[in-house]
A and B are shown apart, each in its own frame.
Chain A
Amino acid sequence: MRSSVIIFPGSNCDRDMDVALKKFGFKNQMVWHNDLSIPKSDLIVLPGGFSYGDYLRCGSIASKSKIIKSVIDFANSGGLVLGICNGFQILTETGLLKGILQQNKFLNFICSNVFVKVKDKQNKYFKDLKKDVLELHIAHNEGNYFCSDDELKSLEDNNQIAVTYCGDDGTENETTNPNGAIKNIAGIFNNNKNVLGMMPHPERMIDKYLSGEDGSLFFKNILDNFK
């Protein structure tokens, strides 16, 4: 499976993502934000970091960068686009995903392991995933997902909520919500479920010496579903 990771000025999880993708067998390439086209890919990843210094609003300047038109075209033609953390923020700014990411409820940056519940498996990311609850890692200041009532209803009606913050047993409530996100939302899909944005970083959880290994399941599952 061929993947491309876009590097924006200020991206800082680009290398980590490259390492993770290659570890599980993706043929990955790095693409510079000023390029106009993306090499032939089956998956495009917008990595975490502080694109353009998070100036103006997180992700907003990146959503107007040169490369982004190719990303939008690719997504609209059904290609898989994954945005992690700042990548998720960029996807909401482009309009590919609904809603916004506000500052965390307690106004602090949070770097911590979290559990997320996989809410939908009828998609190319989570289909046939063996687990329902994954232990992943978050590191963000603006991860507090918010959208209008209408948008929330349509996300729920179309099963577009991808993952929600929960306890290790899958309980979703206020205490298992690290950043105040509406309905504990940690990640969502677009209508066709080919675009996924989520705050947790699977690329930081890919071997037993790190914070955990559930990130490996995530990447392997994408590959398995592609075969």
Chain B
Amino acid sequence: MEVTEAVAVDHGLKKEEFSKICKLLKRIPNLTELAIFSAMWNEHCSYKSSRKHLKKMHTKGKQVIQGPGENAGVIDIGDDDAIVFKIESHNHPSFIEPYQGAATGVGGIMRDVFTMGARPIANLNSIHFGSPQHKKTRNLLRGVVKGIGGYGNCIGVPTIAGQTTFDESYNGNILVNAMTLGLVNKNKIFYSKAAGLDKPVIYVGSKTGRDGIHGASMASATFDDKIDEKKPTVQVGDPFTEKLLLEACLELMADNSIIAIQDMGAAGLTSSSVEMASKGNLGIELNLSKVPCREEKMTPYEIMLSESQERMLIVLEKGKEDHAKKIFDKWNLDFAVIGKTTNSKKIELIFDNKKVAEIPIDLLAENAPIYDRPWKKTKLPQKLNFDKDEFKSLKLSDCLKKILSNSNISDKKWIWDQYDHTVMGDTIQKPGGDAGVVRIHGTNKAVAASVDSSALYCFSHPLTGGKQIVCESYRNLISVGAKPIAITNCLNFGNPEKEKNMGEFVECVEGITEASKYLNFPVVSGNVSFYNETKDKGIKPTPTIGGVGLISDYQHMLTMEFKTEGNLVYVIGKTDGHLDQSIFARELLNEKKGPPPTVNLFNEKNIGETLLDLSRKNLIVSCHDVSLGGILTAISKMCIKGKKGIKINSLKGLTNKYEYFFGEDQARYIVEIPRASLKKVIEILNKYSVHFDDLGIIDGNSIKYNDDINLPIEELADAHKYWLKKYMDS
């Protein structure tokens, strides 16, 4: 086929990008070369719209071993132990084919982690679906959950936490973000930078097929009516092969045979080979006739663009080929020497003894386009003036039941029962808490991890929303007694070519950066997913934060369920009663305007540190942060999980009980305090000058508040626990 501008446009390149390619190459590329450019220059691989802004992120810290730019980020957790982690999106494929899309999302992120020499120890996910009433939602949810479980369960890595939301803005673009944590010895971390000349380049794993061709380009465009035609661009996963690949790679990594290793993810062999050569400032020569293929007569074009799963590219020390081959033979995996490193600083492809492509590496990497796209600031909406007389017709207990059974608040047990969350024998906090916790095997240490996003807040005011999610992640870790260390982020947005969407991105990143800097909670890895848009309708801005924290002695871990009758319940942090953008305003008042709650970073940090002090001194026995749905929702969950009731004190000097109970002010926690610890707790709270309310006492089997609320816990549990199950069964 003759390469023309039209062919280039078909490959997702802009006209001006095609002319830039011709100018840089000083000739028209052949079809294989064009394919390589289109794969490397698309949004998914080049970060061309986001790079300018991502550079500003706060990425450094005392415990950061590796920040963004590698397969995953790495943090130091002491005693030579390091945690490798990253979150990644698989949104576009999951909407087209939910099972395989979600499954390969999980497979891909696990490969990113074990590529660095780490054994995966925990998976998390953040998944977002359209309105529950939308005709596609139920099947998409079922498929995604089965896909995530099907892959993670088979590999034998526990899925320890997650987040699921529903919003009509995801009707045409669901979001599937998968996160993996791995454990590695900090002196045995593997990187993707090739080094040394004439070193063998090895292909291992599954054979290459025709699946997933153009996957990365598909993820760099919006959807239209012909979306079903894109099914062939979705990869097909085989977790069994990945499990073998994991064990084989870790076995080979036990000695010093590997110089560099990179998994073949988006844009497959193209991006893995170019990245390794580019980082090492080398050239690479590949003989594509040697690539193990699943199908007959595959062309160089197809081999370079295939996104078949469970494959790795390795630059090996010379002379180690036989040793490595033995290991891959043992695990029944393909192994082929397909090329070598060179000093040409080009990627050169040979097929049937003919050179079929030759491109200088820097044209693909450094010279990839970078755009400074125009963007629009979002004004802070004006605070609403609620008519409080209108509240009076609402009974507190009815409001509470309605909120607890809201699709975004209700229990997600139906989902996580389908994920193996206990394999590996170290899960000490299961899904359903503020964060999942796994022990570092054989030590007293444990890591906590949580995934969070707040699309409604980000949509209302991206700058505040960006800050808020970082704080929410921070609080979730603190709530289980973990010291927050670092985050990874998955930035899901609409079309960056639209000023509004681009503005949402820029300002969310700004918010994330500001909060992560202040809280000393650096970003060590992440991924950007733009073009989450169908027929001109984009998603609400949904940056997802994956936070990781350390519990130095897991006996100090906290959980949220109320433990003992007679213990006192305090709200730590001040409640002003911010109802704008709250679940209460949406569900009970049908009011969707107004600004999100203000984020005060000083308070977040100060109160967070206070809480950590209390938990390290064993002065509190349960803890839960106050988020969506406010105080009353938070204590209901603590009651339901602990199967215990609470008698709430009459609150004096309150502005309004609805505002107090359902307001979504930030930087607040609920804690359970044994009477014997109370004096010490108050001393500490005063020392840090932290505001607190004496909320009530754990008592009986119902929630009681004056004459307003008298709700048996079982009734609340019914409202909370079964919405999702009933929805899926209906």
Instruction: Find chain A residues with CB under 8 A from B426 CB.
Output: 210
Bound state CA distance, A21 and B239, in angstroms?
27
Instruction: Find chain A residues with CB under 8 A from B332 CB.
Output: 9
Bound state CA distance, A206 and B418, in angstroms?
22
B154 on interface, CB distance cutoff 8 Å: yes
A90 on interface, CB distance cutoff 8 Å: no
Residue of A111, A112, A211 contacting most chain B CB atoms (<10 Å): A111
Interface string of A7-33 (1 = CB under 8 A from B): 001101101100110000000000000
* CB within 8 Å of B: which A154-191 residues: none
B530 on interface, CB distance cutoff 8 Å: no
- When C-beta atoms are compared, the residue in chain B nearest to A12 turns out to be B156
Bound state CA distance, A108 and B239, in angstroms?
18
A146 on interface, CB distance cutoff 8 Å: no
Question: Do A53 and B239 touch (CB < 8 A)?
Answer: yes
Instruction: Find chain B residues with CB under 8 A from A19 CB.
Output: 425
Bound state CA distance, A86 and B638, in angstroms?
36
Q: How many whole Å from A62's CB to the nearest CB in chain B?
A: 12
* CB within 8 Å of A: which B411-438 residues: 416-428, 430
Instruction: Find chain B residues with CB under 8 A from A52 CB.
Output: 240
B99 on interface, CB distance cutoff 8 Å: no
- When C-beta atoms are compared, the residue in chain A nearest to B431 turns out to be A111
Q: How many whole Å from A138's CB to the nearest CB in chain B?
A: 10
Q: How many whole Å from B152's CB to the nearest CB in chain A?
A: 10
Among A10, A20, A201, A203, the residue within 8 A (CB) of B154 is A10
- A16-B425 contact in complex given A10-B240, A109-B149, C-beta closer than 8 Å: yes
B673 on interface, CB distance cutoff 8 Å: no
Among A55, A108, A210, the residue within 8 A (CB) of B425 is A210
Question: Do B418 and A111 touch (CB < 8 A)?
Answer: yes
Bound state CA distance, A201 and B425, in angstroms?
10
Question: Do A111 and B331 touch (CB < 8 A)?
Answer: no
Residue of B150, B243, B244, B427 contacting most chain A CB atoms (<10 Å): B243
B153 on interface, CB distance cutoff 8 Å: yes
Question: Do A109 and B423 touch (CB < 8 A)?
Answer: no
Residue of B240, B421, B426, B427 contacting most chain A CB atoms (<10 Å): B240
Question: Do A16 and B153 touch (CB < 8 A)?
Answer: no
Instruction: Find chain A residues with CB under 8 A from B150 CB.
Output: 109
Question: Do B423 and A50 touch (CB < 8 A)?
Answer: no
B681 on interface, CB distance cutoff 8 Å: no
Bound state CA distance, A162 and B683, in angstroms?
56
B439 on interface, CB distance cutoff 8 Å: yes
Interface string of A67-111 (1 = CB under 8 A from B): 000000000000000000000000000000000000000001111
A117 on interface, CB distance cutoff 8 Å: no
Question: Do B243 and A50 touch (CB < 8 A)?
Answer: yes
Bound state CA distance, A210 and B160, in angstroms?
13
Instruction: Find chain B residues with CB under 8 A from A111 CB.
Output: 153, 416-422
Bound state CA distance, A10 and B149, in angstroms?
15
Instruction: Find chain B residues with CB under 8 A from A53 CB.
Output: 154, 238-241
A137 on interface, CB distance cutoff 8 Å: yes
Bound state CA distance, A203 and B156, in angstroms?
14
Bound state CA distance, A203 and B420, in angstroms?
14
- When C-beta atoms are compared, the residue in chain B nearest to A206 turns out to be B425
A226 on interface, CB distance cutoff 8 Å: no
Count chain A residues whose beta carbon lies closer than 8 angstroms to a beta carbon of B. Answer: 30
* CB within 8 Å of A: which B192-245 residues: 238-241, 243-244
Instruction: Find chain A residues with CB under 8 A from B416 CB.
Output: 111
Q: How many whole Å from A209's CB to the nearest CB in chain B?
A: 5
B155 on interface, CB distance cutoff 8 Å: yes
Question: Do A204 and B240 touch (CB < 8 A)?
Answer: no
Question: Do B425 and A203 touch (CB < 8 A)?
Answer: yes
- When C-beta atoms are compared, the residue in chain B nearest to A112 turns out to be B417
- A210-B428 contact in complex given A12-B155, A53-B238, A111-B422, C-beta closer than 8 Å: yes
- A204-B418 contact in complex given A55-B240, A109-B153, C-beta closer than 8 Å: no
Question: Do B239 and A9 touch (CB < 8 A)?
Answer: no
A223 on interface, CB distance cutoff 8 Å: no
- A204-B422 contact in complex given A9-B331, A109-B149, A111-B417, C-beta closer than 8 Å: yes
* CB within 8 Å of B: which A191-205 residues: 201, 203-204
Q: How many whole Å from A131's CB to the nearest CB in chain B?
A: 21
* CB within 8 Å of B: which A32-53 residues: 48-50, 52-53
B660 on interface, CB distance cutoff 8 Å: no
Among B154, B156, B239, the residue within 8 A (CB) of A13 is B156
Question: Do B423 and A13 touch (CB < 8 A)?
Answer: yes
A139 on interface, CB distance cutoff 8 Å: yes
Bound state CA distance, A138 and B426, in angstroms?
15
Instruction: Find chain B residues with CB under 8 A from A54 CB.
Output: 154, 240
Bound state CA distance, A109 and B142, in angstroms?
12
Instruction: Find chain A residues with CB under 8 A from B419 CB.
Output: 109, 111
Instruction: Find chain A residues with CB under 8 A from B149 CB.
Output: 109
Question: Do A210 and B244 touch (CB < 8 A)?
Answer: no
- When C-beta atoms are compared, the residue in chain A nearest to B427 turns out to be A210
- A108-B423 contact in complex given A10-B154, A12-B155, A209-B554, C-beta closer than 8 Å: no
Question: Do A20 and B418 touch (CB < 8 A)?
Answer: no
- When C-beta atoms are compared, the residue in chain A nearest to B154 turns out to be A50
Question: Do A12 and B554 touch (CB < 8 A)?
Answer: no
Residue of B156, B239, B416, B430 contacting most chain A CB atoms (<10 Å): B156
- When C-beta atoms are compared, the residue in chain B nearest to A51 turns out to be B240
Binding site for A on B (CB under 8 A): 146, 149-150, 153-156, 238-241, 243-244, 331-332, 416-428, 430, 439, 554
Known pairs A9-B331, A10-B244; list 13 more (Cβ under 8 Å).
A9-B240, A9-B332, A12-B156, A15-B424, A16-B423, A50-B156, A109-B146, A109-B150, A109-B418, A111-B418, A111-B420, A141-B153, A211-B430
Q: Identify 22 residue pairs between A and B in the complex whose beta-carbon atoms are under 8 Å apart, listed by A's number.
A: A9-B244, A10-B243, A12-B243, A13-B156, A16-B424, A19-B425, A20-B425, A49-B156, A50-B154, A52-B240, A53-B154, A53-B239, A108-B417, A109-B149, A109-B417, A109-B420, A111-B153, A111-B418, A111-B419, A137-B422, A139-B423, A210-B426
In the A-B complex, the 8 residue pairs with the smallest Cβ-Cβ separation, listed nearest first, are A12-B156, A53-B240, A16-B425, A139-B420, A50-B154, A209-B428, A109-B418, A111-B420
